């Protein structure tokens, strides 16, 4: 089947456009999504196509429009709520955690919440401590939410379409620095099941488990690994709640060594949960301790050299890989 090369933002736009064409109950709402065409131009041209009733510009009030989205979902619509950055979602966390995530449970199944909260996550390049946070562990912690973190345009397309069709609230996190990243995307209707990991590169020496921007840190280090004769298996979780434990365990049982690479902080993170799952379910297959590469346990500095030092890098990944293979 044919494919086209699209950027991450183009793949996200295509997913929303196709779902809005398919289902009149789907609409997009957020700051600057309409007339300005999106802070990162993800919604470019969508207001012209669908009108102001389905591409809705909001005031700078995350708590307000997130709550409005929850109410719309309770009434049977399928809102897509765009945060200009997931850092700003902290203003709306009460609506996400205490309303969206719990409404189905607290209503005894009467009110499904078919909605997607989406926007850029993680460090964006010299945006400092309040605008450079990778916040997935906040939402992974909460029952009732699905958390999706694609690393490629193809995965972004297939997973966003599945997220919009899902009857539960989905936290959809897009790396802030990947909107221009280009890759092949199928031209046909394309969906990826939520909760299905992807073996991005089969290998035999160790399993590198990652997601979102972490995958790109790993790919930057891959030439150094190959130069050293190391053959890693790269597992992209894609969805971090729920986690595809089966694919992850099969990889670990094959390679017997595990490195987890993530953009988030180390304490109580997705990576620490993944490490716990592996040690409880694959302990007898491990030939070395599980290692993790993550952001340093500090607020993100503003200076570009310090931001780079804070994040995962080829040097940090290679050091961990070489330690695992001693």
Give me the pLDDT at residue 163, please: 98
Give me the pLDDT at residue 165, please: 98
Same domain, 77 and 212: no
Task: Based on the residue annotation, tell me whether 131 is a catalytic residue of this protein.
Answer: yes
Q: What is the pLDDT of residues 160-182, one digit of tens each?
A: 999 999 999 999 999 999 999 99
Same domain, 291 and 314: yes
C-beta neighbour count of 256 within 10 angstroms? 16
Strand arrangement of the beta sheet that strand 78-82 belongs to: 55-57, 26-30, 78-82, 116-121, 170-175, 146-148, 239-241
Residue 304: partners with Cβ closer than 8 Å, 6 or more residues away: 125, 126
Pick the last residue of a domain from 157, 186, 215.
186
Out of 131, 174, 262, 263, pick the active-site residue. Answer: 131
Out of 10, 62, 82, 263, pick the active-site residue. Answer: 62
* Domain enclosing residue 226, as ranges: 198-324
Same domain, 94 and 13: yes
Give me the pLDDT at residue 1, please: 82
Q: What is the pLDDT of residues 66-118, one digit of tens each?
A: 999 999 999 999 999 999 999 999 999 999 999 999 999 999 999 999 999 99
Give me the pLDDT at residue 260, please: 99
> What is the CATH number for 113?
3.40.50.970
Q: What is the pLDDT of residues 249-300, one digit of tens each?
A: 999 999 999 999 999 999 999 999 999 999 999 999 999 999 999 999 999 9
Same domain, 146 and 253: no
Percent of the chain at pLDDT > 70 equals 100
**Mean of per-residue pLDDT scores for the chain:** 98
Q: Is residue 191 part of a domain?
A: no
- Indicate the SS3 state at residue 102: coil
Q: What mean pLDDT do residues 224-251 have?
A: 98
Pick the last residue of a domain from 186, 208, 231.
186
Q: Cα(208)–Cα(275) distance, rounded to whole angstroms?
A: 12
Whether the full predicted model's pTM is greater than 0.85, yes or no, is yes
Q: Cα(166)–Cα(171) distance, rounded to whole angstroms?
A: 12
Q: Cα(80)–Cα(73) distance, rounded to whole angstroms?
A: 10
Task: Based on the residue annotation, tell me whether 62 is a catalytic residue of this protein.
Answer: yes
Same domain, 256 and 182: no
The total number of structural domains in the chain stands at: 2
Q: What is the pLDDT of residues 188-215, one digit of tens each?
A: 999 999 999 999 999 999 999 999 999 9
Q: What mean pLDDT do residues 109-133 have?
A: 96
Q: Is residue 192 part of a domain?
A: no
Pick the last residue of a domain from 186, 206, 230.
186
Nearest in space to 131 (alpha carbons), one of 9, 317, 302, 276: 302
């Amino acid at each position: 089947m044919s494919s086209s090369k699209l950027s991450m933002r183009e793949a996200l736009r295509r997913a929303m456009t196709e779902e809005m064409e398919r289902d009149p109950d789907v609409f997009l709402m957020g700051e600057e999504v309409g007339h300005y065409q999106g802070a990162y131009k993800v919604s470019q041209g969508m207001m012209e196509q669908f009108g102001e009733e389905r591409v809705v510009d909001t005031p700078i009030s995350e708590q307000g429009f997130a709550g409005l989205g929850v109410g719309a979902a309770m009434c049977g619509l399928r809102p897509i709520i765009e945060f200009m950055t997931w850092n700003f979602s902290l203003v709306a966390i009460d609506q996400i955690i205490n309303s969206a995530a719990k409404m189905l449970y607290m209503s005894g199944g009467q009110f499904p919440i078919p909605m997607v909260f989406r926007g850029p996550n993680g460090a964006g390049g010299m945006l400092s401590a309040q605008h450079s946070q990778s916040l997935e562990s906040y939402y992974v912690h909460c029952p009732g939410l699905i958390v999706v973190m694609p690393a490629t345009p193809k995965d972004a397309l297939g997973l966003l379409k599945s997220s919009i069709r899902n009857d539960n609230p989905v936290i959809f996190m897009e790396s802030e620095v990947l909107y221009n990243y280009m890759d092949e995307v199928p031209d046909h209707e394309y969906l990826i099941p939520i909760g299905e990991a992807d073996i991005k590169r089969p290998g035999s020496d160790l399993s590198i488990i990652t997601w979102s921007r972490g995958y790109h840190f790993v790919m930057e280090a891959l030439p150094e690994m190959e130069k050293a004769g190391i053959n890693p298996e790269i597992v992209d979780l894609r969805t971090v709640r729920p986690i595809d434990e089966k694919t992850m365990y099969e990889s670990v049982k094959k390679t017997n060594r595990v490195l987890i690479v993530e953009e988030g902080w180390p304490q109580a993170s997705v990576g620490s949960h993944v490490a716990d799952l592996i040690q409880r379910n694959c302990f007898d297959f491990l030939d070395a301790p599980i290692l993790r590469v993550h952001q340093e346990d500090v607020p993100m500095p503003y200076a570009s050299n310090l931001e780079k030092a804070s994040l995962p890098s080829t040097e940090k990944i290679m050091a961990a890989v070489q330690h695992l293979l001693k």
